Chain A
Amino acid sequence: MTRPADAVPRSGVAAVQPAALQRLAAGLAVEASAALVRRGSSALTFMEVCGTHTMAIARFGLRDLLPPEVRLVSGPGCPVCVTAMGDLDKAIALARLPEVTLTTFGDLMRVPASRSSLAAERAAGADVRVVYSPRDAVEIAAGESDRQVVFAGIGFETTAPTVAAALLEAQAHGLRNFSVLSMHKTMPPPLEALLDLGETDIGGFVLPGHVSVVTGSACYEFLAREYGVGGVIAGFEAYDVLDALLRLARQTETAIEIEYGRAVRPEGNLVAQRLMAQVFEPRDADWRGLGVITGSGLGLREEYAPFDAERRFDVDAGEPLEPTGCRCGEVLRGVLDPAECALFGARCTPEDPVGACMVSSEGACAARYRFRGIDD
């Protein structure tokens, strides 16, 4: 069977996938049993650390296909969920400035901050606009020179290069009214922090496919080398995830593998890495649930100070307030199943979320919510 000229393997290839998936699931069951014997354990816990994987697993109902010995937990891979309250409050404080047009990805609009949300601020009269691309924010700045356009930069290494590129474009056009509030973070550091915490016996990581498009695979080698934990860089179709789990179970020597070869090169995207390094530098960042992790955040370099919203605007965001009873942190570390949180499904629902894990459609709690109640 040859690939139709226009088809790149994606969820549209439904005819091939269901049968193939059953086969992969069967293969996973076989490998998992063998792995348990080898490792002398009773269950395999794999952690995915990418919000888009959380979402894909929920959307495709993949948990239905996992053998009972394989446990799949969500880690801190949702950039919205791991954004600290204080950072969200800063974005809101900026949005309240009358001269500011706060541009943001849609993901951030409904996230509850200490006292408000961007959606609530917009309803109260703030100029908050949802954009699909940071380029759109630059375009707004170019077209409305009387507005101070601030872009709320969230996302990991997939997104940071796009923000870097947009910033350079703004600079090239001599724009004086564009700036970025960088809340960007990088992926490998929290994996190290998680393993250091040692709260869960993680048998392997399903590694983020699109972050890895940029970073390549070398940055994860330390997981295998220093912690004896393997990882497979996975794509986002149902078969990608199952194949990655199968490969993880099959590993006799822990290693970092690339399942998503059609998009990920071992060296990553060097141009994107260069742009990121040109505009950003590592700094400490506060991760919800994990606390401050050294060198895990991205801040704008000194020479781009005019484009740094934190340096340009003097805002008092107030003291960050964590909502009472919210256990997002434990969920993000993979130690608490969302259903075990007292607020889950009762006080905290997608319509009325308390924490970010429920409001973000790819937060572990929101994704878990979709599974409640339907039993076979």
Chain B
Amino acid sequence: MCLALPMRITAIDGQLAIIVAEGLEQRASLVLVPDARIGDYVLVHAGYAISVIDEDEADETYALLAELAEAAAWEDSRDRRHETGGTFDRGGSQEDA
């Protein structure tokens, strides 16, 4: 629960960091994420960074979404081809296994 926004650390001064999201700059305390470094993305809640975003996991999520989107687009075009009975319709061989 609770509103938290991923923001990137651009400067650190002691326990305070300058963090940015698109068009927005703020300060947040890093006292809960002492290992955070400049360039890290952190989740910011109520003026405190509570977690460093795991970039590998973020990449994986993004890739999954892209895959899903492509699959959906393929399905869409397949459905449309079946509807129009166009030249690409090769019958059963194009169905999902």
Q: Do A and B interact directly, with beta carbons closer than 8 Å?
A: yes
Q: Which residues of A contact B (CB under 8 A)?
A: 1, 3, 6-10, 12-13, 16-17, 19-20, 22-24, 49-53, 77-79, 105, 132-136, 155-156, 158-159, 161-162, 165, 187, 208-211, 213-214, 239, 261-265, 269, 271-272, 275
- Cβ-defined contact, A263 with B46, below 8 A: no
4 closest A-B pairs by beta carbon, nearest first, are A133-B47, A50-B1, A20-B68, A262-B57
Name the B residues within 8 Å of A20 (CB-CB). Answer: 64-66, 68-69, 72
- Cβ-defined contact, A8 with B1, below 8 A: no
- Cβ-defined contact, A8 with B53, below 8 A: yes
- Cβ-defined contact, B2 with A159, below 8 A: yes
- Cβ-defined contact, A155 with B2, below 8 A: yes
Name the A residues within 8 Å of B75 (CB-CB). Answer: 23
Q: List 7 A-B contacts (CB under 8 A).
A: A3-B62, A6-B8, A9-B62, A19-B68, A158-B2, A159-B2, A213-B50
- Cβ-defined contact, A158 with B65, below 8 A: no
- Cβ-defined contact, B1 with A23, below 8 A: no
- Cβ-defined contact, A263 with B1, below 8 A: no
- Cβ-defined contact, A16 with B65, below 8 A: yes
List residues of B (24-83) whose CB comes within 8 Å of A's CBs.
29, 31-34, 41, 43, 45-48, 50-51, 53-54, 57-66, 68-69, 71-73, 75-76
Q: Indicate whether A9 sits within 8 Å of B65 (C-beta atoms), given known contacts A165-B48, A264-B51, A272-B32.
A: yes
- Cβ-defined contact, A10 with B6, below 8 A: yes
**Nearest CB on A from B83, distance (A):** 17
Name the A residues within 8 Å of B8 (CB-CB). Answer: 6
Q: Indicate whether A3 sits within 8 Å of B58 (C-beta atoms), given known contacts A20-B72, A264-B51.
A: yes
> Bound complex: CA of A50 vs CA of B8, how far in Å?
25
- Cβ-defined contact, A79 with B1, below 8 A: yes
> Bound complex: CA of A135 vs CA of B32, how far in Å?
13
Q: Is B18 an interface residue (CB 8 A)?
A: no
Q: What is the chain B residue whose CB lies nearest that of A243?
A: B64
Other A-B pairs, 5, CB within 8 Å; known A6-B8, A158-B4: A1-B63, A3-B63, A13-B62, A162-B47, A165-B29
Name the B residues within 8 Å of A156 (CB-CB). Answer: 1-2
> Bound complex: CA of A9 vs CA of B22, how far in Å?
13
Name the A residues within 8 Å of B57 (CB-CB). Answer: 261-262
Name the B residues within 8 Å of A269 (CB-CB). Answer: 32-33, 50-51
> Bound complex: CA of A3 vs CA of B32, how far in Å?
27
Contact for A22 among B54, B61, B72, CB less than 8 A: B72
Name the B residues within 8 Å of A158 (CB-CB). Answer: 1-2, 4, 45, 50
- Cβ-defined contact, B45 with A159, below 8 A: yes
- Cβ-defined contact, B46 with A132, below 8 A: yes
Q: Indicate whether A7 sits within 8 Å of B62 (C-beta atoms), given known contacts A23-B68, A208-B1.
A: yes
Q: What is the chain A residue whose CB lies nearest that of B5?
A: A10
- Cβ-defined contact, A53 with B72, below 8 A: no
- Cβ-defined contact, A8 with B41, below 8 A: yes
Name the B residues within 8 Å of A19 (CB-CB). Answer: 68-69, 72-73, 76
Q: Is B97 an interface residue (CB 8 A)?
A: no
Name the A residues within 8 Å of B66 (CB-CB). Answer: 1, 16, 20
Contact for B1 among A12, A52, A136, A162, CB less than 8 A: A52
Residue with the highest number of chain A CB atoms closer than 10 Å, among B31, B46, B60: B46
- Cβ-defined contact, A162 with B65, below 8 A: no
> Bound complex: CA of A275 vs CA of B15, how far in Å?
15
> Bound complex: CA of A13 vs CA of B63, how far in Å?
12
> Bound complex: CA of A132 vs CA of B2, how far in Å?
13
Q: Indicate whether A161 sits within 8 Å of B50 (C-beta atoms), given known contacts A19-B72, A20-B69, A208-B1.
A: yes
